[in-house]
Chain A
């Protein structure tokens, strides 16, 4: 790297840090999805349909998550009902 490169480099953003941060987020997200059983998306869809028989909700108003800790698994079901 020559003297001119040094002069030009000032104020250049740290793109490697941006890459690392983006990767950490997406990789964590994809690992979470991976560790979930295959039936989860289908179950989420069916729960959605049952609720829709009674109230009108959007696709993303139901979230299903399986948390695995050491000796137990918790199935967390989160439904956002519309305000009256």
Chain B
């Protein structure tokens, strides 16, 4: 039985797909057979972030409509063993995903995989609700910024009332992933701190990903940022994956990096 984890946020552009790609890759690197599904029907992008956009033949909706088998649609990652991608469809039909269809695909995947990562679309419409409905756990991606925090709270409310587990009286295990964190701006009181966001949302912290140039570089190349093991963002994602697997790892990159006296004086980065 696979563990189904939804990566969601409510707000767009906070790093859901970047995080889905990084976390799925991290889980596969740790030896777990993992599949990452793009639920953003009509605005497929996970394939680009994973660097497999030219290998997409069939997609999620084709499988649901029985136009292709699951094995035909799944793309095996070229860099990482144990990792598969199920791309979203580019159809403009909003109702392309059906509850029964999604459930069947997840049930079938569940037999062969350890983890199923569901990359949710932004918003709280049908696509986002479908992505979170079957989840055992949820990673709520949040930026330290007012609209993102508010939308995260909104999506937490939906997880607690409209997911399958909630309907059965069970709970979805929630994780907070704070992304685009800038310790310098937190130090000057221009940005909400980790503690602030934790206090408002009251969800256990899975990780803090520092704002990093490595994220854009990674998406330019179509390689999940977790593979950039030199970068702070890559390291922070690796830590988050370890925590997801139950390991206790101290949080890093929360404070301003100590700079030399001259660098500080001159304002160098």
Taking a contact as CB atoms under 8 Å apart, the answer to whether A2 and B267 are in contact is yes
Across-interface contacts of B192 in A (CB, < 8 A)? 16, 19-20, 23
Across-interface contacts of B265 in A (CB, < 8 A)? 2-3
Which single residue of chain B is at the shortest CB-CB distance from A1? B267
User: CA of A34 to CA of B264 in the docked complex: distance in angstroms?
Assistant: 48
User: CA of A52 to CA of B196 in the docked complex: distance in angstroms?
Assistant: 45
User: CA of A26 to CA of B149 in the docked complex: distance in angstroms?
Assistant: 11
At the interface, is chain A mostly helix, strand, loop or mixed? helix
Give the B interface residue count (CB, 8 A): 24
User: A17 at the A/B interface (Cβ < 8 Å)?
Assistant: yes
User: B67 at the A/B interface (Cβ < 8 Å)?
Assistant: no
Which single residue of chain A is at the shortest CB-CB distance from B267? A2
Taking a contact as CB atoms under 8 Å apart, the answer to whether B200 and A20 are in contact is yes
Across-interface contacts of B145 in A (CB, < 8 A)? 19
Taking a contact as CB atoms under 8 Å apart, the answer to whether A23 and B157 are in contact is no
**Docked complex: B177-196 residues within 8 A CB-CB of A:** 184, 186, 188-193, 196
A–B complex contacts, Cβ < 8 Å, 24 sampled: A1-B264, A2-B264, A2-B265, A2-B267, A3-B265, A12-B189, A15-B189, A16-B191, A16-B196, A19-B192, A20-B192, A20-B196, A22-B146, A23-B149, A23-B150, A23-B192, A23-B200, A24-B200, A27-B201, A30-B154, A30-B157, A31-B153, A34-B157, A34-B161
B interface residue numbers (CB < 8 A to A): 145-146, 149-150, 153-154, 157, 161, 184, 186, 188-193, 196, 199-201, 264-267
A interface residue numbers (CB < 8 A to B): 1-5, 9, 12, 14-17, 19-20, 22-24, 26-27, 30-31, 34
